[in-house]
Chains A and B, each alone.
Chain A
Amino acid sequence: GAVVSQHPSRVICKSGTSVKIECRSLDFQATTMFWYRQFPKQSLMLMATSNEGSKATYEQGVEKDKFLINHASLTLSTLTVTSAHPEDSSFYICSARERTGPFLAFFGQGTRLTVV
C-alpha cells in the first residue's frame, strides 16, 4: 500500500523556537494532506487540510499563524510550529488519502513534539 513518511519522529525544542515537521507521500501524488494533533490518551483532532499550491484550510480554533502549513509539491507538506510553547507539546500526525478506489487514508509515523 501507499506510504506516507513523516520526519522527524521525535523532537525536543526550547520555548520560543520554531519546529518544522515534514510529511511526504512516497509513491503517490497527494494534492491534499491532513495534519492531526493527538494529546495523550485522546483521539485525533484535525488541525488543517493542506492543499497543494494553495493556502491551507484550518479547523476552527487552530491558529494559522502559529501552525504554518506549506504544501509546495504533490508529495510534500510541512507543518511549522512557530514560537513553540509547552502547551504545544503533542503528537502530530500527517495523512494523505488515495484519490480513487476506497479512498484509503495513509498516515505518517507521527512526530512527538516536546517543548521545554
Chain B
Amino acid sequence: ELKVEQNPLFLSMQEGKNYTIYCNYSTTSDRLYWYRQDPGKSLESLFVLLSNGAVKQEGRLMASLDTKARLSTLHITAAVHDLSATYFCAPNLFGNEKLTFGTGTRLTIIP
C-alpha cells in the first residue's frame, strides 16, 4: 500500500522568505503530481513531474522529483500572501489510474 507523507504539515512563513515542502512516498512511482487547494475549493493542478530528476518551475514555485529516494520537493521562493493554501503531492505509478494523496501542507504566508 502506497503511503505518502508530507512535511511539514503546517507552515507559517513571512513574506519574502524561502522554504521547502517535502513529499516522501513508500513505493516505486514514476511520476508525481502537485496540487494546490484553497479553503472551501477543489484542487488546482500545479505540476506534473514525469521522470527522475525532473524539475518544473512556475513563478515562485519549483518542484523536483527524485524517484530513487522516493522524494519530491516543492520550493517556495520569496513567498507572497497569494501562495497561502494547502499543497498536496500525489505520486503515481504508470498504468495505475488511482492517485494517492499526501497528508497535505497548509501554508500560511504572513505579511
**Chain A residues in the interface with B (C-beta under 8 A):** 1, 6, 32, 34, 41-44, 46, 49, 93, 95, 97, 102-110, 112
> By the criterion CB–CB under 8 Å, are B40 and A112 in contact?
yes
Q: In the complex, which range does the number of interface residues on chain B fall in? A: 20 to 34
Min C-beta distance of B7 to chain A, whole Å: 13
A54 CB to nearest chain B CB (Å): 14
Asked if B98 contacts A46 (CB within 8 A), the reply is: yes
Residues of A within 8 A of B42 (CB): 6, 93, 107-110
Is B91 an interface residue when CB atoms closer than 8 A count as contact? no
A41 touches B97 (CB 8 A): no
**A contact patch SS:** strand
Contacts of A103 in B (CB 8 A): 31, 92, 94, 97
Does A44 lie within 8 Å of B97, measured CB to CB?
no
**What are 15 A-B residue pairs whose CB atoms fall within 8 Å in the complex?**
A1-B45, A6-B42, A32-B97, A34-B97, A34-B98, A43-B104, A46-B98, A46-B99, A46-B100, A97-B97, A106-B45, A109-B41, A109-B42, A110-B41, A112-B40
